[in-house]
Amino acid sequence: MTGRRILPPAGRSGGLPSVSPAVALRLRGRRQYLILRGQRRRLRDLTALADRTGAIARGAILLFATLRNEENRLPWFLEHYRRLGVAHFLIVANNCTDGSEALLKDQPDVSLWRTTASYKASRFGMDWMNGLLARYGHGHWCLTVDADELLIYPHWESRPLPALTDWLDDHAIPALGTMMLDLYPRGPLGAEPSAPGQDPLETIPWFDSGNYTRRRQKNLGNLWIQGGPRARAFFSTDPRRAPTLGKVPLVRWHWRYAYVSSTHTLLPRRLNDRAETEGGEDLCGLLLHTKFLSTIVEKSREEATRGEHFENSSLYNEYYAALSAAPQLWTEQSKRYQGWRGLEALGLMSRGGWL
């Protein structure tokens, strides 16, 4: 990685719809606002519990995350990303009441911050992430994910992240787009417990393979993907409210960049062109979404009370109530995870030129 440039790469923009000069100016102002807001929130809200950022090497691949009470997931999460090639984790623990902080504080490759500030008021953690990314991510390939998201991509078992990011650098591609793939069990949610450090695919290996819609958003240019088990089970009467599944979690970061809405959208907008297209021409990966581990029922009841995960939480009371009832998401049409090649065959990821 020595000698890699750290200026914002030009990338390609052929797939993005054009915008007027007025919209472009407004987006530039929004990006500057988000960068400044992230810096203020980082300084105001975060207290370092273990700052090991001085050990970050040039060219190291970094992972950024905000989490709350993920003691059960963390051992496998850390193992998965270490195997992929993440060199350092920068994590914000938000109002944790379990053993997450103690576990993370003991990890030699983790820098940890604590905050008791509102997750919702920080734009669902993205202000903290933007602040940390600007401070520590500049010039690095950076993964920004949730604790229940496991990145995979074509050849991921045999080609670690440094091989992928070198290829992206060589092709002047500044980001990797993904779709989030919801995994779930065969029986009712919460029925099969998962042990700390256990591979989630042992208990939730099932997914929906074909009920997805895709459209390109005009102003930001991101691919808006909806569908999967949450759309069919909880939002069938109003599919527009279903969660969006398109994300851009892996970016060669520059301090002038900012996430807008989770990792669904970035500014500058050309970074959002790194997303799957229906033709599948571009390299794209998947985020295996392990939300539906056995802890989901208890977490849903708690989050319904906290109201920290949606802008208008009252609109999602029915969603939380349905999750709390431990429904069964599995159907006869569900597919079992059999590796990335099976996902590629279904059109859910693409190798593009990454052969």
**Distance (Å) of CA 160 to CA 59, 151, 241:** 14, 11, 36
d(CA 305, CA 316): 11
d(CA 8, CA 137): 13
Q: Per-residue pLDDT for 281 more than 80?
A: no
**Mean pLDDT across the stretch 334-348?**
96
Q: Structural domain of residue 136, as residue ranges?
A: 21-345
**In this predicted structure, what is the pLDDT of residue 293?**
94
d(CA 77, CA 56): 20
Q: Per-residue pLDDT for 277 more than 50?
A: no
Q: Which pLDDT tens digit goes with each residue over 69-113?
A: 999 999 999 999 999 999 999 999 999 999 999 999 999 999 999
**In this predicted structure, what is the pLDDT of residue 1?**
36
Phi then psi for 106, rounded to 5 degrees?
A: -85, -5
* Helix intervals (H) in the chain: 21-45, 74-84, 100-105, 126-132, 161-170, 228-234, 296-306, 317-324, 340-345
**Mean pLDDT across the stretch 326-355?**
94
**Mean pLDDT across the stretch 265-288?**
79
Tokens of 111: 């820098």
d(CA 352, CA 355): 7
Give 55's pLDDT tier (boundaries 50, 70, 90): very high
Q: Does 11 reside within a domain? A: no
Q: Per-residue pLDDT for 51 more than 70?
A: yes
Q: Does 354 reside within a domain? A: no
d(CA 126, CA 144): 10
Give 16's pLDDT tier (boundaries 50, 70, 90): confident
Q: Per-residue pLDDT for 280 more than 70?
A: no
> Are the beta carbons of 185 and 292 closer than 8 angstroms?
yes
Residue 258's H or E segment, with its range, is strand 258-261
Q: Does 6 reside within a domain? A: no
Q: Does 222 reside within a domain? A: yes
**In this predicted structure, what is the pLDDT of residue 10?**
38
**In this predicted structure, what is the pLDDT of residue 304?**
63
Q: Which pLDDT tens digit goes with each residue over 213-261?
A: 999 998 999 989 999 999 999 999 888 889 999 999 999 999 999 999 9
Q: Does 38 reside within a domain? A: yes
Q: How many structural domains compose the chain?
A: 1
Q: Does 236 reside within a domain? A: yes
Sign, Cα dihedral of 129, 132, 134, 138: negative
Burial of 138 (0-12, 13-18, 19+ CB in 10 A): middle
d(CA 248, CA 262): 9
**In this predicted structure, what is the pLDDT of residue 302?**
75
CA distance between the termini of the chain: 21
Q: What is the pTM of this model?
A: 0.92
**In this predicted structure, what is the pLDDT of residue 13?**
44
What CATH number does residue 283 fall under?
Answer: 3.90.550
Give 310's pLDDT tier (boundaries 50, 70, 90): low
Phi then psi for 48, rounded to 5 degrees?
A: -70, 130
Percent of the chain at pLDDT > 70 equals: 90
Phi then psi for 322, rounded to 5 degrees?
A: -65, -40
Q: What's the angle, vertex CA 78, arms to CA 253 and CA 65, rounded to 5?
A: 40
Q: Does 5 reside within a domain? A: no
**In this predicted structure, what is the pLDDT of residue 186?**
96
d(CA 107, CA 101): 10
Rg (CA), the chain: 19
Percent of the chain at pLDDT > 90 equals: 75
**In this predicted structure, what is the pLDDT of residue 315?**
58
Phi then psi for 339, rounded to 5 degrees?
A: 105, 170
> Are the beta carbons of 144 and 247 closer than 8 angstroms?
no
**In this predicted structure, what is the pLDDT of residue 278?**
46
Q: Which pLDDT tens digit goes with each residue over 176-208?
A: 999 999 999 999 999 989 998 999 999 999 999
Q: Does 272 reside within a domain? A: yes
